[in-house]
Amino acid sequence: MKTVVVGCGRLGAELAYRLFKRGHQVTVVDESPQQFSRLPADFLGRSIYGDLLSAELMESADFTHANCLAAVTDNDSINAVVAHVARTVYHIPNVVVRSYDPALRPVLATFGFQIVSSSSWGAQRIEEILHSPRISTVFSAGNGEVEVYEMVIPEQWEGRLLKSLVENNAECLVVALTRNGHAILPAPDILLRAGDILDISATDSGIACLHGLLEVGKES
């Protein structure tokens, strides 16, 4: 798999190295050659510096034969332009764009890119941990619009029906129930036991509603 990583900051260097370790043929490009010092000594991919928007650099980085491209500089405008050219001129099939400024995410979204917004996602995760310490995130889709959460059933929910926990919450879907180390796809009428582990797919508002329901159960 031939992959181009545009931007060799902390994120770009880490991404390039991880892809290299997975067997990708990685080319990293950046405006400054000093940035390549972030790459580990055993990184054996290519590194090219120059004007990120120039056709010469894109040709040198072999955009023509790339299968994947990640535009991960700290400049959203550069990321958008490079990604647009990669997709429309070089027809790279898999293009991912970093959104550095959350305020500019809607602009990038108009291009139809796959977007990763580390600032938005990071803030959301910290908020979740501070607000709901008993519910942890195990998988995040997109930029956290839908996530899979893991929660342990507390004692006050012992003997209640699973459907009483989620049936009125259209933005929550139970993915699995683990009991005594064995996971199942639970029926809505299964009785919950303290210590059961539920994996729940939900939106942010859906999990907030579930957290509120658990708090009510705690007080009752």
Contact by Cβ (8 Å): 28, 50: no
* Domain tally, the chain: 2
Among 78, 94, 120, identify where a domain stops: 120
pLDDT at 107: 79
Q: Which residues contact 101 (CB under 8 A, 6 or more apart)?
A: 76, 119
* Residues 6 and 25 reside in one and the same domain: yes
pLDDT at 89: 97
pLDDT tens figures, 57-109? 999 999 999 999 999 999 999 999 999 999 999 999 999 999 988 888 887 88
Rounded CA-CA distance 105/167 in Å is: 33
Inside any domain, residue 103:
yes
pLDDT at 114: 86
Rounded CA-CA distance 183/108 in Å is: 39
Average pLDDT for the chain: 89
By CB atoms closer than 10 A (0-12, 13-18, 19+), residue 176 is: middle
Among 120, 143, 160, identify where a domain stops: 120
The boundaries of the domain holding residue 165 are: 130-219
Q: Give the phi and the psi of residue 217 in degrees, each rounded to 5.
A: -60, -35
Q: Which of 4-8, 46-50, 84-88, 108-112 has the lowest mean pLDDT?
A: 108-112
* Residues 104 and 162 reside in one and the same domain: no
Inside any domain, residue 210:
yes
pLDDT tens figures, 165-210? 888 888 999 999 999 989 999 999 999 999 899 999 999 888 888 8
CATH number at residue 80: 3.40.50.720
Among 74, 97, 120, identify where a domain stops: 120
Inside any domain, residue 125:
no
pLDDT tens figures, 130-170? 766 567 888 888 777 898 988 888 888 899 999 988 888 88
Cα-trace Rg, the chain = 22
- What residue has token string 């930029």? 143
* Residues 66 and 101 reside in one and the same domain: yes
Any idea what DSSP says for residue 132? -
